[in-house]
Amino acid sequence: MNAQSNRIAVVAGALAASLAVIVAANASRRPAATAADMQPLRRMSHAEKVARGKYLVTVGGCNDCHTPWIMQANGKPGPDMTRQLSGHPQDIKITSPLQLNHDRFNVAWSSTNTAFSGPWGVSFTANLTPDVHTGTGIWTFDIFKNTIRNGRHWGVSRELLPPMPWFNYAKMSDDDLAAIFAYTRTIKPIRNQVPQPIPPIAK
């Protein structure tokens, strides 16, 4: 390569580096994506909305906690889909937090994966089925949306407790939340009165 070719290569490299710096700087000034940015470009039919909601419930891991777990035919634990999203079973009584005397672990899961004991006390996963007495059957979409957005039961009441990752779900678009709500309207209503949280033991 001659001297002129070397100069051209150096200049081209400098220009490419400068362009990369400019692009990176502009990207850093760009606002983060908002829920509005994630809105679909067309209105979904009800069937499409329900299908989208089922997908989001599945990949969002809702059945991991809100559906009681049992031993499966393969010998491994998994959600009992005959009780899908019905929350902590009312017949499994838990009356106090589990005190773990360990300097590394301070959280315990129930065998059904629906009750959790930790520094916050005991939390029980809610009944999300459309049962009008013990589930979300009388909820409106706004109540559901505000529950997720605000991290409070009924949108305005007590705080949602761990391990509910509401702060992640709160970043969903209104359309995605509406799809989830639409899907939960289609599952079997199950009458199951989930207990109230248990406060931590006073020290």
Residue 99: inside a domain:
yes
pLDDT number for residue 42? 61
Residue 20 lies in a domain: no
Residue 201 pLDDT exceeds 70: yes
Residue 75 lies in a domain: yes
How far is 144 from 158, CA to CA, in rounded Å? 14
Tokens of 68: 């009681």
Percent over 70 (pLDDT), the chain: 79
- pLDDT band for position 104 (cuts 50, 70, 90): confident
Determine, yes or no, domain membership for 189: no
How far is it, in rounded angstroms, from Cα 192 to Cα 129? 9
Express each pLDDT in 35-49 by its tens digit.
444 555 468 899 999
Query: In this structure, are residues 125 and 115 in contact, taking their beta carbons and an 8 Å threshold?
Result: yes
Identify the band that residue 103 occupies on the pLDDT scale cut at 50, 70 and 90.
Answer: confident
Mean pLDDT of the chain: 84
Question: What pLDDT score was predicted for residue 193?
Answer: 98
**1 vs 12, which has greater pLDDT?**
1
Does residue 7 lie within any of the structural domains?
no
The total number of structural domains that make up the chain: 1
Residue 170 belongs to domain spanning: 45-184
Is the per-residue pLDDT at 125 higher than 50? yes
Mean pLDDT of 5-9: 37
Closest to 170 in 3D by CA, of 190, 147, 188, 202: 147
* Residue range 187-203: mean pLDDT, rounded: 93
Tell me what pLDDT residue 64 has: 97
| 25 assigned to some structural domain | no
Please report the pLDDT score of residue 40 as a whole number. 55
Residue at 62 is within a domain = yes
Give the model confidence (pLDDT) of 75-94 as tens digits.
999 999 999 999 999 999 99
How wide is the angle at C-alpha 47 spanned by C-alphas 44 and 53, nearest 5°? Answer: 80
**Inside any domain, residue 56:** yes
pLDDT in tens, 140-151: 999 999 999 999
Q: How confident is the model at residue 51 (pLDDT cuts 50, 70, 90)?
A: very high
